Amino acid sequence: MALPDKDMRGGLKDQVLAGKYVLGALPEDVKAELAERVRKDQQFATIVRRWEDNLAETEVREQRTFASYVDASMDHALRRSDDKLHRSIYGRFAILTALWNSTRFWRMTTLAAVLWAAVLLFTAV
């Protein structure tokens, strides 16, 4: 891959600097230096504005997505808490579900099966 010429590398460096400036990922002294450059250099100011516009669009899109997610989850939570049929059907199986997911239950069942197999083995001989 060919390296870009010097002007292109400077342009890429300006893009990166503008992005870091807009994101606030620079030390205070560099940020102040770039703020002065934004006031003086029209081309750099345009790059910074483009970064700000792109990030603003992304932020609005993310806020809309998050708001729709929160609305849907709240609607689901409200429906589930008032659903008496759901609680009456699945509430009966709460003990069975707790046993099925219990490690202690399965260990004790395995121990009982092994002991029963040992009893059968030694009494048959």
Q: What is the helix, strand, coil percentage profile of the chain, to 5?
A: 85, 0, 15
**DSSP tag of 26:** S
**Which residue type is seen at 112?**
A
pLDDT band, very low/low/confident/very high, at 47 (cuts 50, 70, 90): very high
At residue 99, the pLDDT reads 81
Side-chain half-sphere CA neighbours of 4 within 13 A: 8
Q: What would the mean pLDDT of 83-88 be, rounded to a whole number?
A: 60
At residue 9, the pLDDT reads 46
Angle at CA 23, nearest 5°, toward 17 and 27? 65
More confident residue, 92 or 44: 44
The whole-chain average pLDDT of the chain stands at 78
112, pLDDT greater than 90? yes
